[in-house]
A = this chain, B = another copy of it.
Amino acid sequence: MTGPDFDLSQLKLPEPQQLEAYFALTEAVSLLQHQVEQQLRAEGGISTVQFQILMALNGAGQLTMTQLADGVVYSRSGLTYQAGLLEKAGLVTRGPSPEDERATLVAITPKGRDTVAKVLPGHIEVTRRLLYEAVPAADLRRLRDIMSRVRDHIREEPPRSAAPRRRRTS
């Protein structure tokens, strides 16, 4: 074991409130996601990921697999699997892109839009009950601003361990 042998309780953290914020954040979101999962499954027979995919497509009409995977924060292979399920269920279609023969364009079907329309009210109701109800409107706006900033900040980050995509130095 190469680890230090001091007791954790002696670890003086710069800002203990920081970890608290992080833990409260992840715990609350876990609880929230869990309830949302139940509602989506019960009312629409879809999972959270599938709902996210459908919501993304509902706004954009059609997207490539890569765009979708990036949008919903999902592995490529996982998305292939989910897109397969959605296609089998008739909620999306997959076809080649006219521009790039490699790309797969995923498009939402009318049935897919129906599903979104069917589950969205319940989805909003659940989030209202669990999230909005606990947070005054002013704080909700702050929350949105803060988390939007965090999201953008993380998206900007270069993937730490992936070599900075520099062109070959010629």
Contact = CB atoms under 8 A, between A and B. Distances in A.
B31 A29 contact: no
A167 B5 CA distance: 50
B113 A1 contact: no
A58 B8 CA distance: 8
B127 A18 contact: yes
A4 B118 contact: yes
A8 B116 contact: yes
A32 B154 contact: yes
A17 B154 contact: no
Contact of A150 (B135, B148, B155): B135
A100 interface: no
A141 B33 CA distance: 23
A30 B31 CA distance: 14
Nearest to A38: B161
A168 interface: no
A3 interface: yes
Contact of A17 (B8, B127, B140): B140
